[in-house]
Homo-oligomer: A and B are copies of this chain.
Amino acid sequence: MTGNKALVLLSGGIDSATTLAIAKSGGYEIHALSFDYSQRHARELESAQMVASAFGVEQHLVIQFDLREIGGSALTSDMAVPKRRLKDQLSGAGTSSFIPVTYVPARNTIFLSFALAWAEVLLAEHIFIGANAVDYSGYPDCRPEYLQAYEAMANLATKASVEKKIQFHIHAPLLRMKKSEIIKKGVELGLDYALTWSCYDPQPLPAKSVKRKNLSSLKALRSSLVPCGRCDSCVFRAKGFQEAGMQDPLTG
């Protein structure tokens, strides 16, 4: 039976972790796929591992390559991660271009392509991605029309689709959900968001200024890094928890 295998792209952030929880609740056998692409915030990979482990996935594969060679993003080059951009934008105080410099060229296309390769080997027809077109940074490869075009291409790309009539489905269950709705859904499914990581620009743990209650949740982590609190991803996370009426267990 091939119908119950799902491949989940897992960065370790709120969206991908919630997507994994949703796939798991759908009864799928989960194969999680993460990428070590020399991202500035490689700390997220520890979170990916913890989330995969918490949900008892069948397999968790981490593929390694270096997107710094291609560059073109603040997450894979020396470009500075913008701070307060979104905060200003959300409060109406600033202007900013539509797609920020944290956009990584063709990242979801690369990620989905490795997912497609592994899905073909596993004969897994279901590929889950935490793409979101509401509370997000305007990335073009999170739009529904992009995901539809990817699925159409994927179904022409493989030996499995030609010889075994495998039909790949790209699932993006968060596509039209607000961040606060995503968080509520995850909590409902038993996801502990202390395991996740969002910050694009992790900072060293300041020795004195950390409250004791934070230390207990941070203890499980191998690295001593804290979120910057000011990048787009931190701002979206904070806004999501605020709107959900919850405290972020990672920073709260």
Kindly supply a per-residue 1/0 record for chain A positions 148-166, scoring 1 wherever the CB is within 8 Å of any chain B CB and 0 otherwise: 0110111011111111000
Copies in the complex: 2
Which of B66, B99, B158 contacts A106 (CB under 8 A)? B158
Residue of B nearest to A77 (CB): B121
> With A70-B114, A110-B113, A162-B99 known to touch, is A120 a contact of B105 (CB < 8 Å)?
yes
- Please determine whether A70 and B121 come into contact, CB atoms closer than 8 angstroms: yes
The CA-CA distance from A161 to B152 in the complex, in Å, is 19
In the bound assembly, the distance between CA atoms of A14 and B110 in angstroms comes to 26
Q: A65-B65, A117-B67 are in contact. Are A159 and B146 (CB under 8 A)?
A: no
Residues of B within 8 Å of A107, CB to CB, are 117
A residues apposed to B, CB below 8 Å = 61, 63-67, 69-72, 97-99, 103-110, 112-114, 116-118, 120-121, 139-141, 143, 145-146, 149-150, 152-154, 156-163
18 A-B interface contacts by CB (under 8 A): A63-B66, A72-B117, A72-B121, A98-B162, A99-B162, A105-B117, A105-B158, A105-B159, A106-B116, A106-B157, A109-B154, A110-B110, A110-B117, A146-B153, A149-B152, A150-B157, A152-B152, A153-B153
